Structure 1
Amino acid sequence: MTRRQLWLAFSFVTTATFMVNVDSSIVNVALPTLSHQFHLSVASLQWVVTMYLLVITAILPIVAKLADVFGRRRIFVIGLMIFSLSSLFCGLSPNFPDLVAARGLQGVGGAIMQANVMSIVTLMFPVEMRGRALGTIGSVVAAGTLMGPILGGLLISWFGWPSIFYVNVPIGILGVAGILRYVPEFPGKPLQRSFDLLGGVLFAAFVVSFLTLFADLSHAAVSYKDGALTIVTALLLYAFIRVESRHPEPLVELSVFKRPLFSAAMGAGLLYWILMLFPAFLMPLYLQEVLHLPVWEIGLLMTPQSIAMLVISPIGGYLSDRYGTVGPAALGIGLFVAADIWFASLGTHASLLSAIGALTLQGIAAGMFSSPNNAEIFNRADKEMTGIVGGLIASERNFGRSLGVTFAALALSLGMQLFSGTRVKSAEMGVLPSHVFVTGFDFAFWIAVCVALLAMMFVFYPRLRRDKGLREVAMIKGE
């Protein structure tokens, strides 16, 4: 392939990536509109986001392995077609259950594309051009995340909420045509051993059971159903670990978690993604229900976080290269604590400047933390396991985002229930008084502060472990 053909093929592949990242952030802006359109409670509304992320998390390991076997371009095109068709179904949904089902189908397409885009780009480009191409993917992801709220606010204001899904259809058709025309076919590799289908099924079942349990807790009081779900979830996790530890070619390589420092870095990363979804889910609702802003303005106000993260991320990476990963990551988590306290203090009469400031500080925190923590994860694994670790980070990202939405909705509902004096868990968002919503909103972000402090413990674990080892050596020498 010529250089021109390479970058043309790259543009069509990353068009799909751009579309997926736009979709991830564009739906958050639509949450207030959807809550009014379908008369939804917080517990129901979360499924617009959770179903999409849940499906991606559940099937990502399976589709990644299928692409190895059947060829990456073929599987990628199938994923793009599914995503585009399901976007049409989302826009045409006459009721909320149909919309949630269509979002689940969208998740299937999103998982297939996420599992393959970086691999396809790596296979297409020669070694001397690969770093530039992979770096450009990061820019495409950032651009999509940044454009989502702005585009969503404008489309909903002009054409209504279905338009945020319809826009994917022509882009998807163009992407399929371009990929089939310019991207080479990469033949699959037959399995040397049996496909770990049981492990994939158990992982998917565990994810669905776990997230359904916490989503159900935001709907009503604890019931026998929740107790049964807890038992089922625990059994599925146990069975999954047993199967993966014995399979000769597991979908998820669990042996890397035997390293405490690697596990600590992964734990901090999971909590980071949970923290990121608290404002992503709750702030659009706050801006509509409390400050009563039009949807196009909500879209604009959600962008400072992405801009701040885009600017600060390279600085976080530079500091981790120069001073080590612990200091910058700890600073990032400290800024998360400050941002979440700021969110919790907004109240019923916050200024737009204060809301923008809290979102900007959250973006600075994310930019400062993400690069050092990812570097720590890779530093604590063997070089030959880089591909496995990359897949684990992708699964962690989607699982953490799913948990973030679920925990944010649960905390919001629980806070309103505990402090409003009325039963509001199943009440429609549009009929809740502002002060009732704010009580739950404040409580949710104090929960986020606790999550951030737990993440801080994971960040400092390597240093604590090292200090303990030095003390033990000193004691031995003293003897």
Structure 2
Amino acid sequence: MKPTGAVSVSVSASASSTARRAPSVRWVLAGLSLSALLSSLGTSVANVALPTLAQAFTASFQEVQWIVLAYLLAITTVIVGVGRLGDVIGRRRLLLAGILLFTTASVLCGLAPTLWTLIAARAAQGLGAAVMMALTMAFVGGAVPKERTGSAMGLLGTMSAVGTALGPSLGGALMAGPGWRAVFLVNAPLGLLAFALAHRHLPADGREPRAGRAGFDRAGTLLLALTLAAYALAMTLGRGGFGPPNAALLAAAAFGAVLFVRTEARAASPLILPATLRDPALSASLATSALVSTVMMATLVVGPFYLSRTLGLEEAQAGLVLSAGPLVAALTGVPAGRLVDRFGAPRTTTAGLLAVAAATATLSVTPERLGVLGYVVPIVVVTAGYAVFQTANNTSVMADVDPDRRGVVSGMLNLSRNLGLVTGASVMGAVFAFASATADVTAARPGAVATGMRVTFAVAAALIALALALTAGARALSRRAAAGTAAPH
């Protein structure tokens, strides 16, 4: 029999050993943050290379556009499915596979001998990015203490904003130096670092017995992917025009959505639980995220034309002004997370939406005589409000999700954001062109572009008002439901 002191020493050593084996939250967040940065960097870094790629492959601009579209379409179509797959087979092993796929595909992009090889490699890169986007937020709920969830979400939002902002400048620097292949090859060492951090520090997947695991809804996943692909193509083909092919794709997407809902109602292990679709709080959060992302895309659609055509800025000056938005998003994410942790997600969600509403309403009445300052100050407020909203909304949604559904719900959140961006590029671009009263905005008069800017942001303010109404309505329904549950029978 061991002496008491020996037992105490043994227990102490065991506890110390367990503490050493437990994953450090700081290193977990480092791996997840790098994954978030890489997936967003992949979205924006290739755009600046399109003119050079058109020359290198002797291709038209419409053809090289598929280098960007293939990446976005891959993310949009599979992000919910891969999120659910992570719930079923284990998030750690799927995230490691996604990082490895992204890194390998980046190398293949850099070595591509033909345009269509490059486009195929970009689609594979987008598939890896979808895994990274869907699972980084899903990991937060299990790896970060609940009182620090908002800060962790803010950090991931910051890294995503940094990746988006860094893309054009990094791509331009690499184009001026090593050339277009380096634009893709630069992801390789960063991808390997992300893989090493994830492999070393992410918590191991649970070993649930096979008989107790939920199945994977293959039919629902395929149907949703086809539906989302049809919608994304309807919104992106034709560069803002809307002809018979766009209408046919939109009709196919609507039919696919109805069929998907009916399929999920009958599935044994549905991709998206019908109860999830009927949850007013989650539905409102997803719809609000899509609306706010639509508005954020308006700033990217309108800004370059207003700054150059109406205010007469040179390209370099306009680029500097446009960088203010992503810079503010990068600086606001972490403080926004701390605000969420301190004041709660509902209050900060509303505060973020009110800031965006006030700033877009201001832009809708801004006269040209106020110059650059009259445009950039409201844009800074819009971007800061968006960062606060996104952090609070993501925290609110992910905080109470069942552990076995975190991947799919995280995928749905990312999907709502992507659909908002895709829709905003098409719809807000069409509003801007219509309000400018010209078929070609690049040749429009300065006054016409200013009118287009004001009308577009008036529509944006109306969309944010709708988002506020949805949020308030969902909270009222939730309070009513809670009161009904608490009432004695």
TM class by smaller structure: 0.7 to 0.9
Maintained 8 Å contact 1:284/1:298: no
Matched, 1:407 2:416: no
In structure 1, the residue matched to 2:172 is 156
For 1:204 and 1:212, the matched residues in 2 are separated by 12
Maintained 8 Å contact 1:206/1:236: yes
Code of the aligned partner of 1:200? T
For 2:92 and 2:296, the matched residues in 1 are separated by 32
Q: Provide the secondary structure at the position in 1 that maps to 2:315.
A: coil
Question: 1:463–1:154: structure 2 CA closer, same or farther, 3 Å change rule?
Answer: closer
In structure 2, the residue matched to 1:238 is 258
Question: 1:74–1:305: structure 2 CA closer, same or farther, 3 Å change rule?
Answer: same
Maintained 8 Å contact 2:264/2:272: yes
- From 192, 201, 221, give the equivalent of 1:200: 221
Maintained 8 Å contact 1:93/1:99: yes
Q: Provide the secondary structure at the position in 2 that maps to 1:38.
A: helix
Code of the aligned partner of 1:401? N
For 1:305 and 1:140, the matched residues in 2 are separated by 15
Code of the aligned partner of 1:450? V
Matched, 1:110 2:134: no
For 1:144 and 1:255, the matched residues in 2 are separated by 30
Q: Provide the secondary structure at the position in 2 that maps to 1:400.
A: helix
Code of the aligned partner of 2:236? A
- From 409, 422, 426, give the equivalent of 1:392: 409
- From 174, 189, 195, give the equivalent of 1:170: 189
Q: Which has the larger radius of gyration?
A: 2
- From 228, 240, 244, give the equivalent of 2:248: 228
In structure 2, the residue matched to 1:18 is 37
In structure 2, the residue matched to 1:34 is 50
Question: 1:263–1:413: structure 2 CA closer, same or farther, 3 Å change rule?
Answer: closer
- From 446, 456, 460, give the equivalent of 2:469: 460
Question: 1:96–1:136: structure 2 CA closer, same or farther, 3 Å change rule?
Answer: same
In structure 2, the residue matched to 1:65 is 84
- Map 1:235-384; keep pairs closer than 5 Å: 235-260=255-280, 262-280=282-300, 283=303, 291-294=313-316, 297=320, 300-307=323-330, 309-310=332-333, 313-314=336-337, 317=340, 321=344, 324=347, 328=351, 330-338=353-361, 340-341=363-364, 352-371=372-391, 373-374=393-394, 383=400
Maintained 8 Å contact 2:70/2:122: yes
Deviations 1:268-301 (A, max 9, x none): 2220122223324554677688633339847744
For 2:27 and 2:350, the matched residues in 1 are separated by 41
Deviations 1:145-197 (A, max 9, x none): 23642464155134355544322111112333454455565256436454210
For 2:339 and 2:150, the matched residues in 1 are separated by 19
For 1:121 and 1:114, the matched residues in 2 are separated by 12
In structure 1, the residue matched to 2:458 is 449
The number of aligned residues is: 448
For 2:190 and 2:99, the matched residues in 1 are separated by 10
For 1:174 and 1:376, the matched residues in 2 are separated by 30
Q: Which runs of 5+ in 2 are unaligned?
A: 1-17, 481-489
Q: Provide the secondary structure at the position in 1 that maps to 2:263.
A: helix
Shift of 1:77: 1.9
Deviations 1:223-268 (A, max 9, x none): 2x33432332222111100011222321112323324454334322
For 1:282 and 1:161, the matched residues in 2 are separated by 28
CA RMSD between the two structures: 4.5
For 1:322 and 1:301, the matched residues in 2 are separated by 26
Q: Provide the secondary structure at the position in 1 that maps to 2:39.
A: helix
Question: 1:32–1:288: structure 2 CA closer, same or farther, 3 Å change rule?
Answer: farther
TM-score, structure 1 as length reference:
0.74
For 2:273 and 2:344, the matched residues in 1 are separated by 28
For 1:340 and 1:45, the matched residues in 2 are separated by 34
TM-score, structure 2 as length reference:
0.73
Maintained 8 Å contact 2:436/2:451: no
For 2:42 and 2:217, the matched residues in 1 are separated by 31
Q: Which runs of 5+ in 1 are unaligned?
A: 425-431, 471-479
For 2:394 and 2:246, the matched residues in 1 are separated by 35
